[in-house]
Structure 1
Amino acid sequence: MTDSSSLTQSVFYMACCNNNLKTALENFKPSEVNKIDADGNTVLHIASSRGYIDIVRFLLRYHAPRTIRNNNGLIAEQLAMNEEIKMLFNVNVRPKSDSDYFVAKTSDVEWVDTYNNADRISYENLEHMKRWVLKVPLQKLLDEIYNGYINKLQKLDEKQQEAIKDLTKKEIPKGLIKAYTCPSISFYKILNEDLAEVGSDFRFLSTQNLINSGYLDNEAPKGLGQHIFAAIIINHPYFRPFYWTGTSYRGMNVTQHDLKEYDKDNIVMTRSFLSTSKDPIVVECFLDLDTNHDYDNRIPVICTYEVKDPGSSLDINTISFIENEDEVLILPFVVFRVTEKRDDEINRGNSMHRVIRIKLEERVRNVS
C-alpha cells in the first residue's frame, strides 16, 4: 500500500489535518491525496470527520478518491461531521477532462476582440439582441434554437442534441444555463466557438433576415441560434436576480504572442460567454502550471475580472449543472480595459511556478 509514516510527516497531510487551506494548496501533490495513514484514513477521511468544509471542498475538486475504506471499513462520506459536509459529497464535480471550462487555450484568445470603439459596438450589439427578446415570442426563439441550430450541429450526435433540448425544456429559461454548464455534453465549447466566429457580424445577418422576411420583426432570425441563446440569457427577466458585480477569475494557457492582446490599457470586448469563478482555487485546479515554456511557449495566466455593470454577468452558482464552483458567467459583448499585467509565481507541490497575472476592469459604458 503506502508508507503511512511518510504521509503523516508530510506538510500537505499536516495542513489538511489542521484546516490550513493555504499551506495545503502550496504543498499539494496528487500522489499524496490517496495515501493512507496508520488508521487507513486518507486526508479526505480526516477533513470530513473534523468538519473542515474548505479542505473537503478543495480535495473533492481535485478528485480525491471517495471509495477508499479505512481500517474500520468506512469511506470518507460516512465520517462526515455534519450535514454541510455530507452535502459536499453529493455535489457534481467537474471532470479533469473539462479543464478548458475555466481555462482558455491559445485558440480561445480569438474569442476576444480588441477595439478602440468597443463601447459603441457593444451597445449596438446588445440593443439589437434585446429587440429579439422584446418583440419575438419566447417559444419562437426557442424553436429556432432547437430546429435552426442544435439540430444542425454536426459536432454533436443525436443523443447529445436531445440531451441539450431536454435540459433546456425542463425549466425554461433556466435550462439554458443547465445545458451550457453540463460537462458530459460540452455544449459550451461549440456555442462559444459559434458566437466568436460570427462575432459582431451577426447584426448584418440579422438585418438581412429581416429584409428577407418582409420586415416581420416578430419572427426569430434564421441561422443565428447561438446568438438567440445568448440574447435570452442576457435579457430574459428570469435572470435579473442573478445579476452580479465584483471580482472573478479565469485562467489561460497561451503563447507570448497571444499575450500581446492583453497589454496594459488595451480595450477588449468578449465575443462569447466567459466562465469565471469568485474562488481563484477553482481556476487553479484546472490551470496547467507545468507548461513547458521552452517547448511550446505556452504560459499559465490568471485573469482577474472586475465587473461593474450588474447586467454584464450572472452569478449562476445555484443554477449551474455543477454547483459549488462559485461560477460567474460573463456575458458576450462586455468591454474591459487591461489595468495590469505582471509576472508572478505560485507555490504548488512545494515548487514555484511562473504565472502571468492580468487584471481587467469593465469600462463604464459610454456611447455618446
Structure 2
Amino acid sequence: NDGIKELFLRVPNSNRLVSDTGAIEWILIDDDVMKKAKEERHIIKSLYDNSTGTTPIDKMFEKIEKNYINKGLTNISGIKNIRRYFRKATEEQNILWIIKAYTAETDFYKILNNEIAAGASQYQNERRYIIALISHNLRLDEFTFIGTAYRVLRINNDDLKKYEVGCSLMTKSFVSSSIDRKVAELFLCQEAAQSEAQVMTRKKIDGTLIKSWIMCRYEIKHRRTGLHIENSSQYANEGEILIMPYSVFEVKDKKSSTFMFSR
C-alpha cells in the first residue's frame, strides 16, 4: 500500500532535527554579541578567501583531516566512518563528503556543534575551516535554500520567556531543520510522548514543567544562510535544511499549540 509506505518513510529517524537544550543553539543579541558575530563571520570569510595567503582550500581539507579528525576526535562513536568521509573529502577536494560526515548518525555533529558553540580554542582553526567550506564553497551554491524550515527543541521555560517578540537571536552552531512541517510535528509528538511517559518529569514546586518541547519556524531569506542537503543526508526523507552558525533571526511571533499524541 503506497499510503502505508509513504507514512513509514516519513517516520523521523535522525536526532539532528531535535535538540534537548537551547543553550547550544541560540544566544540573545546585544551589541557585544553582534560585534562578535560580525568578527567571526569576517574571519571565516577571510579564511575561505585565503586573504593571508597561508591556507588555500586544498590545505583546509588536509588540516581538518590531519589535525581535527585524526587527532582531536579519536574516541568518538562512528569515528571509522567519519575518517573515511574526510579521507574522501581530502582526496577529491569535495565538500559533499563533509556534508555526508555531518549528516551521518554518529557523535561527530554533536561534538562539532558543542565545540563551535563553546568557542573551544583547541582545533578552532580546523572548525573554522569546516564552517568556511560549508558556508562559502561554490559547489554548494545549488543547495542554497530560501524559505521556511522547522526544528524541534526542548527548552527551559524560564529561558523561553526571554525570547520576546522583536528580539534577535544568533545561532551559535550549525542547526539542522526540516523543510517539511509534518516531519517536525512527528518529532515533536514522539519526544513529548516519551517525556510524558517518564515518571520523574522535572517540575517546579508549583507543579509547572521546567522544560517544554517547542517547534521553531525559521524564515530563511538570505542565500547560503540555509542549505537544502536532503539528497546528501543519510536520512533523505526528512528534507533537511542546514542553517549556518552566526546567523541572526528576529523573533516574529510566539504561539501556544496543543498536539494530540498516543503511546
Instruction: Say whether the 8 Å CA contact 1:113–1:268 is kept in structure 2.
Output: yes
Residues 155 and 340 of structure 1, relative CA distance in 2, 3 Å threshold:
farther
Distance 2:233 2:242 in 1: 10
Residues 260 and 228 of structure 1, relative CA distance in 2, 3 Å threshold:
farther
Q: 2:116 aligns with which of 195, 213, 219?
A: 195
Q: CA deviation at 1:147?
A: 2.2
Q: In structure 2, what is the equivalent of residue 268 of structure 1?
A: 169
Give the TM-score of the pair, scaled to structure 1: 0.60
Q: In structure 2, what is the equivalent of residue 57 of structure 1?
A: 6
Instruction: Say whether the 8 Å CA contact 2:24–2:173 is kept in structure 1.
Output: no
RMSD: 2.5
Residues 269 and 132 of structure 1, relative CA distance in 2, 3 Å threshold:
same
User: May I ask how many residue pairs the two structures share in their alignment?
Assistant: 242
Please list every run of at least 4 consecutive aligned residues from structure 1 whose deviation after the TM superposition is greater than 6 angstroms. none
Q: 2:211 aligns with which of 270, 275, 298?
A: 298
Structure 2: tracts of 5 or more residues without a match: 204-208
- Say if 2:86 is the partner of 1:168: yes
- Say if 2:150 is the partner of 1:249: yes
Residues 343 and 146 of structure 1, relative CA distance in 2, 3 Å threshold:
same
Q: In structure 2, what is the equivalent of residue 181 of structure 1?
A: 103
Secondary structure of 1:179's counterpart equals: helix
CA deviations 1:291-311 (Å, max 9, x no partner) are: 346646221100000011012
Instruction: Say whether the 8 Å CA contact 1:256–1:297 is kept in structure 2.
Output: yes
Distance 1:255 1:264 in 2: 17
Q: In structure 2, what is the equivalent of residue 68 of structure 1?
A: none
CA deviations 1:270-289 (Å, max 9, x no partner) are: 11000000112222333212
User: Where do 1:198-209 residues align within 5 Å?
Assistant: 198=119
Higher mean displacement: 339-348 or 267-276:
339-348
CA deviations 1:73-118 (Å, max 9, x no partner) are: xxxxxxxxxxxxxxxxxxxx73xxx43x111112x42331212235
Distance 1:122 1:255 in 2: 24
Q: CA deviation at 1:318?
A: 1.3
Q: In structure 2, what is the equivalent of residue 112 of structure 1?
A: 26
Q: CA deviation at 1:333?
A: 0.7
Give the TM-score of the pair, scaled to structure 2: 0.82
Secondary structure of 2:252's counterpart equals: strand
Distance 2:84 2:162 in 1: 39
Residues 294 and 156 of structure 1, relative CA distance in 2, 3 Å threshold:
closer
Higher mean displacement: 280-289 or 129-138:
280-289
Distance 2:88 2:176 in 1: 23
Instruction: Say whether the 8 Å CA contact 1:148–1:223 is kept in structure 2.
Output: no
Structure 1: tracts of 5 or more residues without a match: 1-47, 63-92, 206-221, 352-368
Q: In structure 1, what is the equivalent of residue 206 of structure 2?
A: none
Relative contact order, CA 8 A, sep 6+: which one is greater? 2
Instruction: Say whether the 8 Å CA contact 1:267–1:336 is kept in structure 2.
Output: yes
Residues 344 and 169 of structure 1, relative CA distance in 2, 3 Å threshold:
same
Compare CA radii of gyration and give the structure with the larger one. 1
* Equivalent residue letter for 1:255: N
